[in-house]
Structure 1
Amino acid sequence: MDQRVLNTNQRLRKALFLLLDKKPLEKISITELCTQAKVSRGTFYIHYTKVTDVFDDFKLDLAMQVAQALTLNYPDVDTLIDTFNKILFQNLTGFWHLCNNQQHQRLVNDLTSMLFDTLCTGLDIQKNDKEQQIILQFVANGIVNSYVFWLLNQKTTDFETLVQTERKLLHSCLHVMKKIN
C-alpha cells in the first residue's frame, strides 16, 4: 500500500481514538475527525464514506495481523500466546475503544476462532476429539474475553499479571487435556 495512504489512515485512526476519549462514536462528525487528523474531507472521502468505516478498518487490520501471526508455526503454546499478547498489547488503545463502544463482538468472535484453530493445529488435535476441542474452545474464549474484561473493568490489574494468569490457566487446561487422553 502507498505510504501516503498508510499515513492518512494512521492519522485518521489516531484522531478517532483521541475523539473517542471525549465522546461516543456516533457523535463524531467527519469534519471533526478530519480537523483532528489534519486531513481534508476530500482525502477522507477517497478512503471512507463515514466515521465508522475508520473504526471498521481498524478492526479488519487487527484481525488480519492476528491471522497472519497465527499462521506461523510455533515451537510451543507459550510462544503462540506471547505473540497473541504482543499484537493485542500493540493495539491496546484501539481494542479498548472497540470494547468500550460495544463494537468488539465480531472481532472477539474472529479472534477466538483464529486462536482456537491455531491451537488445534499446533497441538495436533483431531476433528473427532470433541473433548479436547471443548477444552481448547474454552481456552481460546477465556484468553480473548479476559482482555475484554480487563479493558472494560478499568484495567483492575497490570498487563503482566493478566498475561501470567492466562499462561497458568492455559497450562492447567493443557494438563487436563493430557489426563483425558
Structure 2
Amino acid sequence: MNKNSEETKERIKKAFIKLYKENRIEKITISQLTKEAKVYRGTFYYYYKDIYDLLEQIEGRFFKEVIEDVFGVIEGILSGDIEKRAVEITDHFKKYEEIMTLFFVDKPNYILIRRLKEAAKSKILMILGINNNNLSNEDKYILEYISSAQVGIITKWIENKRDIDTVKLARIIKKVNLLGPVTSLKNNSINK
C-alpha cells in the first residue's frame, strides 16, 4: 500500500475513533465520518464496506500488533526478564494508547478483550509445555484468573493515564504473578 493510502486510512481511523468516543456505532454515519476525515464518500467505500467493517479492521490490526507485546510480557514473566521486555514495548503502548483507552476503558470491547485473553492463555500453555487437552477444570479456572488479572492490571494502568512507567508496571505484574495478589498486597502494606 502506498503512503497516500496509509495516510488516508489513518485519517479515516482517527475520524472514526473521535466519532466513536462520542456516539454509539449505530449513530455514526458515513457522511459524518467522511466529513470529519476530509475524504470523499467513494474513498471510504474503496477501503471499507461499512462502519462495522472499519471497526473490525481497526480491531484486527490492533490485535495483530498488540498480541506480540502481550506474548513478550508473558515470556518476560515466565523467564524473569519482564523489566527488559517492558522497555521494549513502551513505544507500542504510546502508539496504541488512544485505541487501548477506547477499547479497554471508555467503551470496553469485550470480544476483543476475550480474544486477547484466549491468545494469552494459549501462549502461556505453549511456553509451559502444557497441552490444553490435559487441563483439568480447576486448571482452566486458574488460567482464566491469570489472563483476567493481566487484563485488569493493564486496564487500570490505562484508566489511570499510565501514571507509572512501564518498568514499574512490569514489576507489579511480575510480583503479582510470582507471589500472588494477596501476598503482594500484604507485603506492600507491611513495607509502608
TM-score (norm 2): 0.69
Report what 2:42 is aligned to.
Answer: 42
* CA deviation after TM superposition for structure 1 residue 69, in Å: 5.2
- Residues matched between the structures, number: 171
160, 163, 179: which one aligns with 1:158: 163
In 2 relative to 1, CA 147–69 (structure 1 residues): closer, same or farther, beyond 3 Å? Answer: closer
152, 172, 176: which one aligns with 1:145: 152
1:75-95 per-residue CA deviation (whole Å, 9 max, x = no partner) reads: 625269636776455312112
1:57-76 per-residue CA deviation (whole Å, 9 max, x = no partner) reads: 11111111134556779462
Q: 2:39 aligns to what SS in structure 1?
A: coil
Identity percentage of aligned residues: 20
Report what 1:108 is aligned to.
Answer: 113
The letter of the residue matching 1:101 is: K
Distance in 2 (CA, whole Å) between partners of 1:68 and 1:156 is 22
* CA deviation after TM superposition for structure 1 residue 24, in Å: 3.7
- Larger displacement relative to structure 2 (122-131 or 59-68): 122-131
Distance in 1 (CA, whole Å) between partners of 2:99 and 2:61 is 11
Query: What 5-or-longer segments of structure 1 have no aligned partner?
Result: 177-181
Contact 2:121 2:147 in 1 (8 A): yes
Distance in 2 (CA, whole Å) between partners of 1:55 and 1:44 is 13
TM-score (norm 1): 0.72
Q: Does 1:91 align with 2:96?
A: yes
Contact 1:48 1:54 in 2 (8 A): yes
Q: 1:39 aligns to what SS in structure 2?
A: coil
Report what 1:179 is aligned to.
Answer: none
Question: Which structure shows the higher helix fraction?
Answer: 2
Contact 1:70 1:80 in 2 (8 A): no
Q: CA RMSD in A?
A: 3.4
Distance in 2 (CA, whole Å) between partners of 1:60 and 1:110 is 10
Report what 2:190 is aligned to.
Answer: none
Query: What 5-or-longer segments of structure 2 have no aligned partner?
Result: 184-192
| RCO higher in structure (CA 8 A, sep ≥6) | 2
Q: 1:52 aligns to what SS in structure 2?
A: helix
Distance in 2 (CA, whole Å) between partners of 1:43 and 1:156 is 34
1:101-154 per-residue CA deviation (whole Å, 9 max, x = no partner) reads: 34x111111101111111222233344354666434322121113333554xx4
159, 172, 179: which one aligns with 2:179: 172
Q: 1:158 aligns to what SS in structure 2?
A: coil
The letter of the residue matching 1:165 is: I
